[in-house]
C-alpha cells in the first residue's frame, strides 16, 4: 500500500504533498447492504424502523481519502449506534476533490482537514471554515530513510535527495529544520514524485521522505524494510501541531448549533471507544473497509490508540497556543499573508467540558 494520504494538500488548493506512502487504490462504499446508517444490521423493513429512520437528521462528512485508522472513531460511532442515539444519520463521503473547498462551500457539513492547511485556507483565502476537533493530540509524522543512508538528524538532510511534492509548506519546513540544526538550507535537494512506490523509491532512488508513522512506517516494518524515523514533533515544539483535524462550515455551525454538538460528541465517543478498545475498533474499521490490509490496520490501530485522548482522557480538545505558534511560524516564513489567531481558526465549544 502506498500514497494512501497523498491527497492531503489538495484540500488546501495545493498539489499533493507531505503524506506520501503506502497506496490503497480502493473503490468502496461506506453504506453497506443490509445495514442501517448506524452500521447495525436491520431485521427488516418494519414500519417502526422506517419511522425511526425518517426521524433522523442527515449530516454529511467528507473523508480526506479512503478509510484508514485516522477515521476509526467515525466508523465506531456509526457501527455502535452513537450517531443514531444522537438522532443523526451520517453520510460519509470519499470525495475526489478538496475537502476544504467542499466544507467551505457548504456542500458537506464536516470533513477531515489538517492544521497547516486550515491555517493557510483561512489566512490566505478567507475560507469560512473552523476546526472543531483534533483527531490526534500529537503530530505522528516525521522523516523516514533507509538505515544505510545514515540520516539521523536534519543536518544530515543536506546534499541528500528528498522525495516530495514541491509544496511551499513542505519545502520551507525542511529548509528551516536544516538551518536550525546548523546546516545550510541551500543544500536542500528534492524530487517531485508521482504514483511510484515510496518503499521502492527509498530503497533505490531517493534518500528520505515525509511519512506518517501509524500507516506508512508500520507498513515498511511489515515489508521487512530497515528504516530510520525522525519524529517531527521532537525537532521543534512548533511542529507538534494537529494533523488531522475535523473542520466544519461556519455558516452551518451558526444555523445548526445543537446538531453540530450532538455530532461531535458522538464522534468523541467513537474515538474514546477506539482508544480503549483498539482491537475491537480495528475490526469495526475492517467491517467497513475489508480491502485494507488486516495486519496493518491492527498494528496501526494499536499505535494510534495512545494518541487519541489527552492527559485528562478527553478526545478532540485543541490548545489555542498550538494554533497560534504554527500560524506565527507560517507568517514569519511567508506562507500566510497575514497573522492568524487561534480564535479565528478553532473552537472547543462543541465538545463536552
For the stretch 107-155, pLDDT in tens is 999 999 999 999 999 999 999 999 999 999 999 999 999 999 999 999 9
3-state secondary structure of 62: strand
Does residue 244 have a cis bond before it (omega within 30 degrees)? yes
Q: Is residue 13 part of a domain?
A: no
- In whole angstroms, what separates CA 342 from the centre of its chain? 19
pLDDT band for position 235 (cuts 50, 70, 90): very high
- Res 210 pLDDT > 80: yes
Domain of residue 287 covers 64-135+245-344
Give the per-residue pLDDT at 229.
Answer: 98
Give the per-residue pLDDT at 24.
Answer: 32
Residues 184, 158 contacting (CB under 8 angstroms): yes
CATH number of the domain where residue 88 is located: 3.40.190.10
Percentage of the chain surpassing pLDDT 70? 84
- Res 47 pLDDT > 70: no
pLDDT band for position 50 (cuts 50, 70, 90): low
**Domain end position, chosen among 239, 270, 293:** 239
130 and 259 belong to one structural domain: yes
Q: Is residue 353 part of a domain?
A: no
- Which of the pair, 185 or 25, is modelled with greater confidence? 185
Give the per-residue pLDDT at 14.
Answer: 35
Q: Lowest mean pLDDT of 20-24, 78-82, 83-87, 100-104, name the range.
A: 20-24
b/e string for 178-200 if b means 16 or more Cβ within 10 A? bbeeebebeebebeebeebbbbe
Question: What's the DSSP call for residue 114?
Answer: -
- Which of the pair, 50 or 287, is modelled with greater confidence? 287
Which residues, in sequence order, are CB contacts of 247 under 8 Å at separation 6+? 99, 100, 103, 110, 111, 112, 113, 118, 129, 130, 131, 132
- Res 35 pLDDT > 70: no
State the DSSP H helix or E strand holding residue 323, giving kind and residue range, or none if neither: helix 320-332
203 and 332 belong to one structural domain: no
Q: How far apart are CA 274 and CA 196, in angstroms?
A: 32
Other CB atoms within 10 A of residue 237 CB: 11
Q: Could you identify the residue written with the cell 464536516?
A: 110
pLDDT band for position 207 (cuts 50, 70, 90): very high
Other CB atoms within 10 A of residue 141 CB: 25
**Domain end position, chosen among 191, 220, 239:** 239
Other CB atoms within 10 A of residue 312 CB: 6
**Domain end position, chosen among 239, 256, 286:** 239
Mean pLDDT, rounded, for 14-27: 34
Residues 154, 235 contacting (CB under 8 angstroms): yes
Q: Lowest mean pLDDT of 16-25, 44-53, 279-288, name the range.
A: 16-25
Q: How far apart are CA 309 and CA 314, in angstroms?
A: 5
Q: Is residue 42 part of a domain?
A: no
335 and 253 belong to one structural domain: yes
In the chain, where do the E strands start and end?
57-62, 88-93, 110-113, 129-134, 141-146, 161-164, 189-192, 208-212, 227-231, 245-249
Q: Lowest mean pLDDT of 18-22, 75-79, 174-178, 310-314, name the range.
A: 18-22
126 and 265 belong to one structural domain: yes
Give the per-residue pLDDT at 266.
Answer: 98
Residues 282, 214 contacting (CB under 8 angstroms): no
129 and 153 belong to one structural domain: no
pTM, rounded to two decimals:
0.85
pLDDT band for position 188 (cuts 50, 70, 90): very high
Give which of 48, 131, 61 is closest to 89, Cα–Cα. 61
Which residues, in sequence order, are CB contacts of 269 under 8 Å at separation 6+? 77, 82
pLDDT band for position 95 (cuts 50, 70, 90): confident
Q: Lowest mean pLDDT of 41-45, 144-148, 208-212, 332-336, name the range.
A: 41-45
Mean pLDDT, rounded, for 58-76: 96
Give which of 228, 163, 152 is closest to 189, Cα–Cα. 163
147 and 287 belong to one structural domain: no
Number of structural domains the chain divides into: 2
Longest alpha-carbon distance in the chain: 71
177 and 326 belong to one structural domain: no
- Res 158 pLDDT > 90: yes
122 and 263 belong to one structural domain: yes
- Res 196 pLDDT > 80: no
Q: Is residue 4 part of a domain?
A: no
3-state secondary structure of 149: helix
Q: Is residue 150 part of a domain?
A: yes
Give the per-residue pLDDT at 200.
Answer: 86
334 and 254 belong to one structural domain: yes
For the stretch 252-275, pLDDT in tens is 999 999 999 999 999 999 999 999
**Nine-digit cell string for 3:** 500514497
- Res 27 pLDDT > 80: no
Amino acid at each position: 500500500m502506498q500514497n494512501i494520504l497523498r491527497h492531503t494538500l489538495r484540500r488546501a488548493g495545493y498539489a499533493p504533498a507531505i503524506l506520501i506512502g503506502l497506496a490503497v487504490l480502493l473503490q468502496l462504499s461506506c453504506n453497506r447492504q443490509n445495514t442501517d446508517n448506524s452500521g447495525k444490521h436491520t431485521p427488516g423493513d418494519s414500519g417502526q424502523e422506517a419511522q425511526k429512520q425518517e426521524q433522523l437528521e442527515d449530516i454529511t462528512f467528507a473523508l480526506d481519502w479512503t478509510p484508514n485508522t485516522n477515521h476509526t472513531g467515525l466508523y465506531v460511532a456509526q457501527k455502535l449506534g452513537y450517531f443514531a442515539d444522537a438522532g443523526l444519520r451520517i453520510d460519509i463521503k470519499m470525495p475526489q476533490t478538496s475537502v476544504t473547498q467542499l466544507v467551505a462551500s457548504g456542500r458537506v457539513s464536516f470533513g477531515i482537514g489538517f492544521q497547516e492547511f486550515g491555517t493557510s485556507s483561512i489566512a490566505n483565502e478567507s475560507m469560512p471554515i473552523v476546526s472543531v476537533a483534533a483527531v490526534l493530540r500529537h503530530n505522528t509524522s516525521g522523516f523516514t530513510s533507509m538505515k544505510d543512508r545514515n540520516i539521523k538528524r536534519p543536518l544530515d538532510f543536506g546534499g541528500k535527495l528528498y522525495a516530495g511534492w514541491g509544496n511551499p509548506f513542505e519545502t520551507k519546513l525542511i529548509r528551516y529544520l536544516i538551518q536550525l540544526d546548523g546546516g545550510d538550507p541551500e543544500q536542500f535537494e528534492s524530487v517531485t514524485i508521482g504514483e511510484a512506490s515510496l518503499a521502492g523509491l527509498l530503497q533505490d532512488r531517493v534518500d528520505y521522505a515525509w511519512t506518517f508513522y501509524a500507516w506508512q512506517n508500520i507498513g515498511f516494518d511489515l515489508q521487512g524494510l530497515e528504516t530510520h524515523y525522525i519524529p517531527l514533533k521532537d525537532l521543534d515544539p512548533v511542529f507538534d501541531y494537529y494533523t488531522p483535524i475535523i473542520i466544519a462550515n461556519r455558516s452551518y455551525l451558526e444555523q445548526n448549533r445543537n446538531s453540530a454538538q450532538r455530532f461531535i460528541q458522538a464522534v468523541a465517543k467513537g474515538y474514546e471507544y477506539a482508544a480503549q478498545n483498539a482491537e475491537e475498533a480495528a475490526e469495526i474499521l475492517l467491517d467497513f473497509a475489508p480491502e485494507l490490509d488486516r495486519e496493518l490496520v491492527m498494528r496501526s490501530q494499536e499505535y494510534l490508540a495512545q494518541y487519541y485522548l489527552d492527559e485528562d482522557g478527553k478526545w478532540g480538545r485543541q490548545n489555542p497556543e498550538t494554533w497560534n505558534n504554527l500560524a506565527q511560524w507560517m507568517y514569519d516564513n511567508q506562507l500566510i499573508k497575514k497573522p492568524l489567531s487561534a480564535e479565528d481558526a478553532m473552537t472547543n465549544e462543541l465538545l463536552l467540558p
